[in-house]
Amino acid sequence: MSDGASRLATPELPDATTLKRWFVTTNHKDVGLLYVGTSLFFLVFGGVLALLVRSQLWVSRAPGEGLLGPVAYNQAVSAHGLLMVFWFLSPLAIGLANYVVPLQIGAKDLAFPRLNALSYWLYLFSGLLFGVSFFQGTSFSGGWTMYAPLNVPTFMPSLGATTTVFALILFTASVTVGGVNFITTIHRMRAKGLSLWRMPLFTWTILLTVWMMLFAFAALLAALLVLSSDRLLGTMYFAQSSPGGALLWTHLFWFFGHPEVYIVFFPALGVMAEVFQTFTGRRIVGRKWFIAAMVLVAVQSFFVWMHHMFLTSISLNVKTLFMATTIGISLPFDLMVFALIYTLKKGDIRFSTPFLFNFGALVLFILGGITGVFLGAVVLDYEFRGTYWVVAHFHYVMVGGVTALIGGIYYWFPKFTGRMYDEFLGKVHFAMYFVGFNLLYFPMFVAWETPRRVFAYQSSLEPWHQLATVGGFLLGSSFLVMFYNLYRSAWAGEEASASPWEYASTAEWTVSSPPPLENYDGYPDYTEGELRYLDEATVRAESTGAGGAAAAAADGGTLLRREG
Amino acid sequence: MTPPATAVETGHDRHESHASVWPVIVAAGAFLTLLGASGIRQGSFVDGTAGGVYLGLLVSGAVVTLGALVAMTMEPFGGPVVEWAAQWPFAEVENTKLGMWVFLASDVVLFGAFIGAYAFVRVAHGWQAWHDLIPAAHVPLPGLINTYLLLTSSFSVVIAMVAAREERPRVLVGSLVATFGLGVAFLINKALEWQHLFHVHGAAFPNGWDLSTNIASSTFYLTTGLHGAHVAVGLLVTLYMIGRASRGAYMGDDEPIEHFGLYWHFVDVVWLFLFPLFYIL
């Protein structure tokens, strides 16, 4: 640092063992770990709420019976949904992306490191704001879809409900800042020669995810700002007297909400693609088609939202159109699923923990996807809407995605920590997780006639709900095994080499575990078709063209451009 | 206190920074601000001590957020340097400018959703019957004046950019001040217009025409209000740049002004959609 340049001079980065480091760091690997850790905290938060819900559902109850009162139950269900979708699922994926994407594309960091730290802290504080909402009367209690007019003060006067809406607004700010950062980074900072076609699949899924996030969350922000204004200032958009107010909310929410499904699922798909390739030792079958299918889904995801509104007053012609786009969007997914299956068939599978989780994720996603096609058909949806069929379906899809991301944590754990997790405990975790998952969600298909969102149902369905509750506790406790395993292994695990997986092929496995602060000593380069590292002189020489290395090196500054 | 001319200027040839304390403080400030604002209901804070606490949280949160944002902007910070990269399809656009474009793309969707919501409820109510919800005092003239004010301010931003490129400090400061003045005039004009509408009298609107009067007033105030908030944010940035420019910054370094200009033009273009929608049709 130049002497006294500014009182605001950037501090040096403190050592990783100090607490201060984690408050001031802007390094993408640190921020990634912060994201992963915080998202797991919200997994526990949302998970405990889910266990409360499952306990209440042990038998069919009248209001006032059981662990939770009616309003407490509504809060638990709403907060569980919001926390899991917004504060756990996406941030876990973004955490992995933060760590891995710059390494995979050969960048030293994200384009705007301070904005990256900012998006993490906005995320954390938005979650804290959500937590505070429970202490302001009641939190939001109208379900994660926050339908109008239930969401206006007439029906939900509590200040805590407003705070929940604000928490989502702050989260949206975090997402927008993060999205701008990732889009700029992936488009502008790939190693030379790493064309989009050659880009690793996990990075591809993140690129598409952040593009979808950028637009989808802007629509959500509009909905949330209008709702805040209705709650704070007394505007009348969603009031009962408003013409089309309730329908307006569903349009705004689901224009965001359907892309959101792919926003949470795509990173999981990316992890599946990476892990399948590494643990079968084979490049994914039909790689270009796989990428094209994902791009198609990302675009089409903005044209299917009204399939969430088949029971509203939209016209039958529109419903039919959206049924067609919805069935249509399942076709590229079929292609991806078959690509993954053929990769298994042609490869030589190694059943390590990351693979088990990702294979499990594929199985669960197939089930979740097929049951979703039922809901995409207008006539069937008339019957299934508002039942546990929907609940079972989207948990198979969403938590199916979680399964792959958990596999991703195991996959990159040696890279994060430089140590290996315990393989046996990893397999125990998977066994408990997979059995618990299916015990929890499959009975919901069988007991599909249970009405959603309430805790009274036909008592003949009680055995199925009791099975589900047992499965829920098994699924929850499987994470205790994971936490123990990862915590212990991070300090005492076997030391991991730069590439502990034999057939790993992406660039993050070419640097030490954990990687140095600025990732690469030289300049990663793919222009010869495979990864090599150039030194500074070569880069100078090649980028100035004629003139030779010596002259270029002497004239160091010319090609350095200043970046924010 | 002026930051160094280049963000990476240090004793060594090049240095990447990895630490900054401001992101966590900005986020903490935003947390306090929103927690404070949650105490508002129907336009005013809840009664009693709680209302005072909420107001205090709101004010202190806003001060912390704004202060930390300014400090973060002034902090010299060297991000990663792009030297050897594949950049299709954005090879010609440097990082910060691309970031600004991407952000504006999301803002397009934000305003698009607001305009879509307006069109949706207006169609639901009846496109022509909508006029019955609006007092005769709601005339196009204030909006027309504001259109000219904003258009002119977009022009003055371009002059500022050229002045920075040609290293003419007085022209730069002058045109930034002109931009600021035109933006303030826009907001004052809007405030006068709103004040007038809030207090209209007449058989149809005996209690004035405010946010809660009907759905037409709600959409009008909220959508143009969101736009007004964008103008206000732009004015804060202008003020910051006037401060730096008057101490000699931006000479031969017109990129920051260009990036702000992108935002300012966008805000201008949004108004060109809002004006016909809310004043003429």
Domains present along chain A, CATH in parentheses: 24-506 (1.20.210.10), 521-559 (no CATH)
Interface of B with A in 57-76 (CB under 8 A): 71-72, 74-76
Mean pLDDT calculated for residue range A535-561: 56
With a pLDDT cut of 90, the percent of chain B lying above it is 86
Asked if B215 lies within 8 A of A243 by C-beta distance, the reply is yes
Mean pLDDT calculated for residue range B158-180: 97
A166 touches chain B (CB under 8 A): yes
Minimal Cβ distance to B31: which of A128, A157, A563? A128
A24 touches chain B (CB under 8 A): yes
Mean pLDDT calculated for residue range A184-211: 96
Hey, what amino acid is at B74? M
* pLDDT for B274: 98
For residues A50 and A56, give the distance between their C-alpha atoms in angstroms, rounded to a whole number: 10
Query: Which of B18, B118, B258 to probe by mutation at the A interface, max A CB count within 10 Å?
Result: B18
Asked if A169 lies within 8 A of B34 by C-beta distance, the reply is yes
pLDDT digits (tens, 9 = 90+) for A105-124: 999 999 999 999 999 999 99
* pLDDT for A561: 39
Q: Which residues of B touch A229 (CB under 8 A)?
A: 211, 218, 222
Two structure tokens written together for A507: 């660039």
Q: For chain B, how many helices (H) and strands (E)?
A: 7, 3
* pLDDT for B16: 79
Asked if B35 lies within 8 A of A132 by C-beta distance, the reply is yes
To the nearest whole angstrom, how far is the Cα of A444 from the nearest Cα of chain B? 36
Q: Are A509 and A415 in contact (CB under 8 A)?
A: yes
Among A5, A557, A558, A113, which residue's Cα sits nearest to residue B5? A5
A15 touches chain B (CB under 8 A): no
* pLDDT for B108: 98
* pLDDT for A3: 39
Q: Please tell me what DSSP assigns to residue B19.
A: B
A413 touches chain B (CB under 8 A): no
* pLDDT for A541: 85
| Per-residue pLDDT at B11 exceeds 50 | no
A29 touches chain B (CB under 8 A): no
Residue A259 has a CB neighbour count (10 Å cut-off) of 29
Asked if A181 lies within 8 A of B99 by C-beta distance, the reply is yes
3-state class of A350 per DSSP?
coil
Where does the pLDDT of residue A324 fall: very low under 50, low under 70, confident under 90, or very high at 90 and above?
Answer: very high
Nearest CA in chain B to A164: B38
Q: Which residues of B touch A115 (CB under 8 A)?
A: 23
If one looks up domain B1-81 in CATH, what number appears?
A: 1.10.287
Interface of B with A in 144-203 (CB under 8 A): none
Mean pLDDT calculated for residue range A523-548: 81
Mean pLDDT calculated for residue range A386-413: 97
| Per-residue pLDDT at A562 exceeds 60 | no
Q: Are A483 and A72 in contact (CB under 8 A)?
A: no
To the nearest whole angstrom, how far is the Cα of B66 from the nearest Cα of chain A? 14
| Per-residue pLDDT at A434 exceeds 70 | yes
Where does the pLDDT of residue A563 fall: very low under 50, low under 70, confident under 90, or very high at 90 and above?
Answer: very low
- Phi and psi dihedrals of A456, rounded to 5? -110, 130
**Considering chain A, what is the average pLDDT of its residues?**
93
Q: Are B218 and A237 in contact (CB under 8 A)?
A: yes
* pLDDT for A85: 97
Cis peptide before B89 (omega within 30 of 0): yes
For residues A225 and A533, give the distance between their C-alpha atoms in angstroms, rounded to a whole number: 48
Nearest CA in chain A to B115: A222
Where does the pLDDT of residue A305 fall: very low under 50, low under 70, confident under 90, or very high at 90 and above?
Answer: very high
Q: Provide the residue ranges of all domains of chain B, joining segments of one domain with +.
A: 1-81, 90-280
| Per-residue pLDDT at A185 exceeds 90 | yes
* pLDDT for A170: 98
3-state class of A523 per DSSP?
strand
Nearest CA in chain B to A227: B222
Interface of A with B in 477-536 (CB under 8 A): 517-518, 523, 525-526, 534
pLDDT digits (tens, 9 = 90+) for A53-92: 999 999 999 998 999 999 999 999 999 999 999 999 999 9
| Per-residue pLDDT at A557 exceeds 70 | no
With a pLDDT cut of 90, the percent of chain A lying above it is 89
| Per-residue pLDDT at B8 exceeds 70 | no
A19 touches chain B (CB under 8 A): no
Asked if B75 lies within 8 A of A8 by C-beta distance, the reply is yes
pLDDT digits (tens, 9 = 90+) for A238-280: 999 998 999 999 999 999 999 999 999 999 999 999 999 999 9
* pLDDT for B167: 96
- Phi and psi dihedrals of B19, rounded to 5? -130, 140
Query: Which of B77, B95, B211, B223 to probe by mutation at the A interface, max A CB count within 10 Å?
Result: B95
Across A33-87, the runs of DSSP E, i.e. the strands, are none
* pLDDT for A550: 40
Asked if B95 lies within 8 A of A10 by C-beta distance, the reply is no
3-state class of A562 per DSSP?
coil
Please state the CATH superfamily assignment of the domain spanning residues B90-280 in this structure. Cytochrome c oxidase, subunit III, four-helix bundle (1.20.120.80)
Residue A522 has a CB neighbour count (10 Å cut-off) of 13
Asked if B83 lies within 8 A of A523 by C-beta distance, the reply is yes
For residues A239 and A421, give the distance between their C-alpha atoms in angstroms, rounded to a whole number: 54
Among A490, A407, A453, A479, which residue's Cα sits nearest to residue A43? A479
Interface of A with B in 376-395 (CB under 8 A): none
A14 touches chain B (CB under 8 A): yes
Asked if B81 lies within 8 A of A560 by C-beta distance, the reply is yes
To the nearest whole angstrom, how far is the Cα of A491 from the nearest Cα of chain B? 25
Asked if B82 lies within 8 A of A561 by C-beta distance, the reply is yes
| Per-residue pLDDT at B259 exceeds 80 | yes
Where does the pLDDT of residue A521 fall: very low under 50, low under 70, confident under 90, or very high at 90 and above?
Answer: confident
* pLDDT for A7: 52
For residues B143 and B136, give the distance between their C-alpha atoms in angstroms, rounded to a whole number: 15
| Per-residue pLDDT at A559 exceeds 50 | no
3-state class of B11 per DSSP?
coil
pLDDT digits (tens, 9 = 90+) for A455-488: 999 999 999 999 999 999 999 999 999 999 999 9
Q: Are B117 and A237 in contact (CB under 8 A)?
A: yes
Where does the pLDDT of residue A549 fall: very low under 50, low under 70, confident under 90, or very high at 90 and above?
Answer: very low
pLDDT digits (tens, 9 = 90+) for A436-462: 999 999 999 999 999 999 999 999 999
Asked if A244 lies within 8 A of B124 by C-beta distance, the reply is yes
Nearest CA in chain A to B92: A188
Rounded (10°) CA dihedral A491, A494, A500, A501: -100
Nearest CA in chain B to A181: B99
Asked if B124 lies within 8 A of A108 by C-beta distance, the reply is no
pLDDT digits (tens, 9 = 90+) for A89-102: 999 999 999 999 99
A259 touches chain B (CB under 8 A): no
| Per-residue pLDDT at B5 exceeds 80 | no
**Considering chain B, what is the average pLDDT of its residues?**
93
Nearest CA in chain A to B259: A564
* pLDDT for A537: 87
| Per-residue pLDDT at A39 exceeds 90 | yes
